[in-house]
Amino acid sequence: MFNQTYKQISGYIQRKDINETLKFSYSNFFTKFGVFILAMGFVFGLYAIGIGPTQGNWGETGNMVARILLDIVGPLVKISDGIFFLMLLAWVVIPYYNRGIAAVQGSLIGLVWCLTTFFSLCSLSTIALVIVQGWISFFIQLAIVLMYFCVSIYMWIMKIHTKETKIGTLKVTIVTLGVMLLINFVMIIYLVTCKHINFYFSLASALIVFYVLLIAIMFYQLDRTYKMIYIQKYNRQFRIAYKIPDKKWWFTAKRAAKHPRVYPPVEEGTKEPTPKEGNKHG
């Protein structure tokens, strides 16, 4: 997956991906620390959503499901949430020296956030679906979500190898989302009118629908991270191909002067300034 040559990957990475990388700006320690404090709300919130529902009293069936989820999903929530926290902390403490590294860091944090959210919502959505709609509805919708997940993996692998598929990712997402919405719409009407279950409880049982959107976002973020890693890996070639000035890549001319010049290239017969000389002119 990460052994493609520049020639192979350059056919997949486009100008918009380069522009996305260049959008990452330099942030000082205090700015990042402020964002870190706000992000702690997400860290603790996702942990509470992931673990909290498994501690409640949901009746015989609900409690059985909660115990299973606590054993299976509980560790995943704790691990992913811990990694999310450590990556945010590393983002604050470890400075990034160019836009490529900044883009990789930001994309990885976004990807871990998606995974943490994926695991955290599992407990609440599963318990609500089982105790309100029942096991049959749960297994049908779980099968649909799993099929969508597998298809998304296949389509992404085909995409990164620039191979065409008969149907687009967006169309698959829309069709899957439409099927899930239809099932839950019918179930909510049935639960409210025939079983006289509270409308809000019935609505809560449809939380599994968000997994279609979450999987779509997760693969978008995975694709973005994949591209950013390759842009950083072959940054010299991409900077020349897309004419990215060194001072833009390294944030400032002073920082750029400390590194070998890439673009604009050194003219033939002209001595490339040393870092010390570059600082005098930077």
**In this predicted structure, which of 143-157, 160-174, 185-199, 209-223 has the lowest mean pLDDT?**
160-174
The DSSP symbol for 198 reads -
**In this predicted structure, which of 17-21, 150-154, 159-163 has the lowest mean pLDDT?**
159-163
What tokens does 234 get?
Answer: 């072959």
State the chain's mean pLDDT as an integer. Answer: 86
Highest mean pLDDT among 30-44, 105-119, 162-176, 255-269: 105-119
CA dihedral 84, 90, 95, 96 (to 10 degrees): -40
For residue 171, name the pLDDT band (cuts at 50, 70, 90): very high
Q: Give domain status of residue 172, yes or no.
A: yes
What tokens does 267 get?
Answer: 């003219």
Q: What is the pLDDT of residue 174?
A: 95
Q: Is the pLDDT of residue 54 over 80?
A: no
What tokens does 190 get?
Answer: 């049935």
Q: Give domain status of residue 80, yes or no.
A: yes
Q: What is the pLDDT of residue 282?
A: 38
Phi first, then psi: give them for residue 171, nearest 5 degrees.
Answer: -65, -40
Average pLDDT rounded to a whole number, residues 271-282: 45
Of 108, 106, 105, 112, the C-alpha closest to 83 is 112
Domain limits for position 173:
6-245
For residue 266, name the pLDDT band (cuts at 50, 70, 90): low
For residue 277, name the pLDDT band (cuts at 50, 70, 90): very low
Q: Give domain status of residue 224, yes or no.
A: yes
What's the total number of domains in the chain? 1
Length, in residues, of the chain? 282
Q: What is the pLDDT of residue 213?
A: 94
Q: What is the pLDDT of residue 270?
A: 52
Q: Give domain status of residue 270, yes or no.
A: no
Q: What is the pLDDT of residue 232?
A: 93
Q: What is the pLDDT of residue 244?
A: 93
**In this structure, is the dihedral angle defined by the CA atoms of residues 147, 149, 153 and 158, taken in order, positive or negative?**
positive
Q: Give domain status of residue 188, yes or no.
A: yes
The separation between CA 179 and the C-alpha centre of its own chain, rounded to angstroms, equals 24
- Measure the CA–CA gap between 232 and 251, rounded to whole angstroms: 15
